[in-house]
Chains A and B, each alone.
Chain A
Amino acid sequence: GAVVSQHPSWVICKSGTSVKIECRSLDFQATTMFWYRQFPKQSLMLMATSNEGSKATYEQGVEKDKFLINHASLTLSTLTVTSAHPEDSSFYICSAIGQVNTEAFFGQGTRLTVV
């Protein structure tokens, strides 16, 4: 299957700092990328959908000024958690779909811990 690379795989940061997470599609052009958050023992929760070259669409309850998403190219999307707080500690996962298939391929996920 297609490969999506996400990094870092884990990060610990201090409260108030910002963290950037990258999601790259390595062998296909990702027209759409999705960012999810997953708290322990819960299902994936979609945060936002981003299309290359346009603004991301955020789900209700997700602060767009706090979770900055950039999808500047067909192979790269970034999620920046600004002014992180302990409650932002979670497992963040990106997924990407290409121009042909409707299957979504996932990055490995980023475990964020804010202390």
Chain B
Amino acid sequence: RKEVEQDPGPFNVPEGATVAFNCTYSNSASQSFFWYRQDCRKEPKLLMSVYSSGNEDGRFTAQLNRASQYISLLIRDSKLSDSATYLCVVNNMDSNYQLIWGAGTKLIIKP
């Protein structure tokens, strides 16, 4: 089983739709959680950190369920510019802060 698993994708959705990304992690000792966005041929960029209480930034909402070892990212009112690959990342201090990456889910927003 992979340490971090994401929906395989790609997601093809119309502009304006709501999109949900799911991610599960296997190490219960994981301490920090992030969503990164990667555009084609570019470096990943931090989209949001994920906090236990859940957090929202504009159209983006991230949630963490430690009991289920599950992380989610919700994008509301999707824009064409949201098209990218979304990567779920987990960080475990016990492994020297090594980031464990999901394979990513590609999102394609269609006009």
Residues of A within 8 A of B (CB): 1, 32, 34, 43-44, 46, 49, 51, 57, 91, 93, 95, 97, 102-109, 111
Q: B104 contacts which chain A residues (CB < 8 A)?
A: 43
> When A43-B101, A43-B103 are in contact, do A106 and B44 touch as well, CB less than 8 Å?
yes
Provide the bound-state CA to CA distance between A95 and B89, in Å.
13
Give the size range of B's interface with the partner.
Answer: 20 to 34
> When A34-B98, A43-B104 are in contact, do A91 and B49 touch as well, CB less than 8 Å?
no
Task: Give the most central of B31, B98, B101: most A CB within 10 Å.
Answer: B98
Of A1, A32, A46, the contact of B46 (CB 8 Å cutoff)? A1
Q: B43 contacts which chain A residues (CB < 8 A)?
A: 93, 106-109
Q: B93 contacts which chain A residues (CB < 8 A)?
A: 102
Q: A43 contacts which chain B residues (CB < 8 A)?
A: 87, 101-104
Q: A49 contacts which chain B residues (CB < 8 A)?
A: 96, 98
B46 x A105 contact (CB < 8 A): yes
Of A44, A57, A102, A105, the contact of B101 (CB 8 Å cutoff)? A44
Q: Is the interface of A mostly helix, strand, loop or mixed?
A: strand
Provide the bound-state CA to CA distance between A44 and B102, in Å.
9
Provide the bound-state CA to CA distance between A44 and B37, in Å.
12
B97 x A32 contact (CB < 8 A): yes
A37 CB to nearest B CB, Å? 12
> When A44-B101, A49-B96, A97-B97 are in contact, do A102 and B31 touch as well, CB less than 8 Å?
yes
Q: B59 contacts which chain A residues (CB < 8 A)?
A: none
A45 CB to nearest B CB, Å? 9
Q: 29 pairs across A/B with beta carbons < 8 Å?
A: A32-B96, A32-B97, A34-B98, A34-B99, A43-B102, A43-B104, A44-B101, A46-B98, A46-B99, A49-B96, A51-B96, A91-B41, A93-B43, A93-B44, A102-B31, A102-B93, A103-B32, A103-B34, A103-B46, A103-B49, A104-B34, A104-B46, A104-B89, A105-B46, A106-B43, A107-B43, A108-B42, A109-B42, A109-B43
